[in-house]
Amino acid sequence: MKQKFAVQLFTLRKECEQDFPGVLREIKKMGWAGVEMAGLCGYSAQEISTVLQETGLKTAGMHVSFESLLNDAENVMAQACLFHTSYLICPSVPHELRNENGYQQFRIQLNEIAKKLQPEGFTIGFHNHAFEFETSVNGMNALEYVIEPSADNAILAEIDVYWVKKAGKDPAEFIRPYSLRMPTMHLKDMTNDDRGTYAEIGTGVIDFDPILIWGEQNGVDWYVVEQDVCQGNPMDCVNLSLENLHRIADRLLEKR
């Protein structure tokens, strides 16, 4: 399981802007197996690819805007090839599409992109927040509609368990329909206070045991830690999350 732990580099965006190669080298020293890309912070794709190869870090997918997937797919695929990943994840729905008709349009267009890129070896996933639960589409909330596990829907899931919890759902229950349809999953914890804000893994209220057990049984390739806002030094925050994830993984292994 430990070889599946990756950090979403949006968590370290300010650090990457200052010294992206240095951040990657430090992440490797911490013991992370991979990173999920969230832009290049002014560096070239070739430069970052070289550092990834130097460190041995793997790429646990790329977050790519809907606009880029729609209008710049060739460059997106070229970059993904440099990073040796086939997982392209749309990180959010554009604001103007966050209504019933908009989500329907979004699903149609994202499916068209997915089916165009499939022959090239790429998959398209969707990363959620909590707001998708506020809109109903075809009798489902918008998130369930976009990632509906049906034969005619090529959009895979990248469930963010924090945002599911934020929407008042049980993450361990919510992920169950997406067996073999979620190659990457987002992990972040939630503080045990009235704020219910972002926390390092293992320091909050989310029970990760059933989530990780399900993931191991249902085709999850990467558990990606993302902490949108860190109260302390972001590098220290991701280090603590990894230490706690390793403890959880060791405990689950002992129970087998």
Q: Answer whether 62's CB lies under 8 Å from 88's CB.
A: yes
What average pLDDT does the chain have? Answer: 97
pLDDT digits (tens, 9 = 90+) for 61-78: 999 999 999 999 999 999
Q: Which domain holds residue 136?
A: 2-255
Rounded Cα distance between 221 and 202, Å, is 21
Mean pLDDT for 170-183 is 98
Banded pLDDT at 169 (limits 50, 70, 90): very high
Give the pLDDT score at 194: 93
pLDDT digits (tens, 9 = 90+) for 71-116: 999 999 999 999 999 999 999 999 999 999 999 999 999 999 999 9
Task: List residues bridging with 5 in a β-sheet.
Answer: 223
Q: Phi/psi of residue 130, each to 5°?
A: -95, -20
Give the pLDDT score at 229: 96
Q: Does 160 have pLDDT greater than 80?
A: yes
Pairing mode, if any, of strands 140-141 and 136-137?
antiparallel
Which alpha helices (DSSP H) does the chain contain, by range? 13-30, 45-55, 66-71, 73-82, 100-117, 142-146, 161-166, 171-174, 209-217, 234-255
Q: Return the CATH number at 56.
A: 3.20.20.150
pLDDT digits (tens, 9 = 90+) for 28-66: 999 999 999 999 999 999 999 999 999 999 999 999 999
Give the pLDDT score at 253: 86
How many structural domains is the chain composed of? 1
Q: Does 256 have pLDDT greater than 80?
A: no
Q: Does 163 have pLDDT greater than 80?
A: yes
Enumerate residues 6+ apart whose C-beta is below 8 A from 197: 190, 191, 229
Give the pLDDT score at 147: 98
Q: Residue 79's CB: how many other CB atoms inside 10 A?
A: 21
Tokens of 118: 């499939």
Give the pLDDT score at 26: 98
